[in-house]
Chains A and B, each alone.
Chain A
């Protein structure tokens, strides 16, 4: 079953075309890694999926609903898709638990108690239960990102989007976040991850999408991508970020 489908997506910032005719699809339970040089449009592409960035051309269907259709309620659609950002974006004026509870209460209509129970079980899962009453500013980057993942999961999402979840982290904190993501992937969560962590891609990805200059240059299985990427640009990219 197709969960996310992109059909010929194009997007412009003024005259500059950031996305050029991008098409792909992600099936339920599939883990897809999106990589490519900086400025290639990866983050823009992933933000289009839940309508944070509007598209100018093409069709984007998530769980059977068109994202750009004015009839579609974006808040309701977004509530079903978790998103994790490069800079965590926890709400600094709220405790960790309140961060997780907020949308459960105001979007899903859960009671305070139900929400807190759910939040605590997720904090347990990402190893942050001891920090439940702290504020984001008191946590390390890796801890904040684990809380951010738990916040996304608290909405019982049908898919999770990750926008460079480890690139703002100090090296020693990257693994604690990747471990949570690997676990999630192994449990069968549908995931679209923009990341440069090729080890993560090797371990859990089903497919790899390689983007350059707003185009999807390569969209293949993980084994093909790491074995014999067809395009020269992907080969060049891989040679630069691997074996160093």
Chain B
């Protein structure tokens, strides 16, 4: 069965696959960035002493963490346009397009996971540190930004990056809304040229090389970050 494999198809479609890869990486980075920012806010809310901040944040995180990612992508792609039409009363209202809905879905989904990572990171900073900051007269936001979060993030960098690698793999799901990421590009070539085996092997190899080497670097980094005290 392997006698008629044609690996030239890969070379011929490299530019197309490259564009797909850039899309995958771009989506990963944007969703990571948005997820970390939103996740930090959610983590601070979950750690707040005010119920009114704590409850919505924990509700959000628990809901998103109990939902399959693909469902969240569908919500934003299919349901949001319906909701927009319903609430705006304009039956010609357009959705926000597959890219933006995917980006929002990934950001919101990842934020729930980042929230839990960041919350653990903040709790890993000894309580004495924030007490010392308060005792010097710093306000809560100053104590967080200058004292607690820098230490928390330093402890968390490896696990935040690991979550980013998982996110990178998950971005392949965008093919369900017709976007051409790396996986989508490989898939389209495979079906157009009838070269399923070649393309899917190649895609697997690329994902493996990227994710494994990044994981390895994270591991190296982790052993280099010495505990701060």
Contacts and interface: CB of A to CB of B under 8 A. Distances in A.
B and A form one assembly: yes
Contacts of A202: none
Contact of B136 (A47, A92, A103): A103
Given A87-B128, A136-B229, A93 B150 contact: yes
Contacts, number: 70
Contacts of B126: 87, 89
B134 A75 contact: yes
Interface string B129-149: 101111111110010001100
B142 A52 contact: no
B132 A83 contact: yes
B151 interface: yes
A155 B134 contact: no
Nearest to B226: A137
A78 interface: yes
B137 A89 contact: no
Contacts of B129: 89, 91
Nearest to A144: B229
B80 to A, nearest CB: 41
Interface in A150-188: 151-152, 155
Q: Which range contains the number of B residues in contact with the other chain?
A: 20 to 34
B137 A93 contact: no
Given A85-B131, A89-B131, A137-B229, A102 B136 contact: yes
A90 B229 CA distance: 10
A81 B134 CA distance: 11
B51 interface: no
Interface in A68-85: 74-76, 78-83, 85
Contacts of A87: 126, 128
Given A52-B135, A75-B138, A89 B146 contact: no
A127 B147 CA distance: 25
Given A92-B229, A93-B228, A137-B229, A103 B128 contact: no
A107 interface: yes
Contacts of B139: 75
B135 A92 contact: no
A139 to B, nearest CB: 11
A79 B129 CA distance: 16
A56 to B, nearest CB: 16
Contacts of B147: 91, 102
Interface in B134-175: 134-139, 142, 146-147, 150-151, 154
Interface residues of A, number: 29
Nearest to B135: A83
Q: Which of B142, B146, B150 has the most CB of A within 10 A?
A: B146
B117 to A, nearest CB: 19
A50 interface: yes
Contact of B137 (A79, A90, A91): A79
A2 to B, nearest CB: 21
Nearest to B154: A93
Contacts of B142: 106-107
A75 B154 CA distance: 27
B45 to A, nearest CB: 21
A75 B142 CA distance: 11
Nearest to B229: A92
A52 B131 CA distance: 7
B228 A137 contact: yes
A27 B71 CA distance: 66
Contacts of B137: 75-76, 78-80, 103, 107-108, 155
A55 to B, nearest CB: 16
Contacts of B151: 91-93
A104 B147 CA distance: 14
B138 A103 contact: yes
Nearest to B129: A89
- Counting from the closest, the 7 A-B pairs by CB-CB distance are A79-B137, A89-B132, A103-B136, A83-B135, A107-B137, A92-B228, A89-B128
Interface of A: 47, 50, 52, 74-76, 78-83, 85, 87, 89-93, 102-103, 106-108, 136-137, 151-152, 155
25 contacts: A47-B131, A50-B135, A74-B134, A75-B139, A76-B137, A82-B135, A85-B128, A85-B131, A85-B135, A87-B128, A89-B126, A89-B129, A89-B132, A90-B132, A91-B129, A91-B132, A91-B133, A92-B228, A93-B150, A102-B136, A103-B137, A106-B138, A106-B146, A136-B229, A155-B137
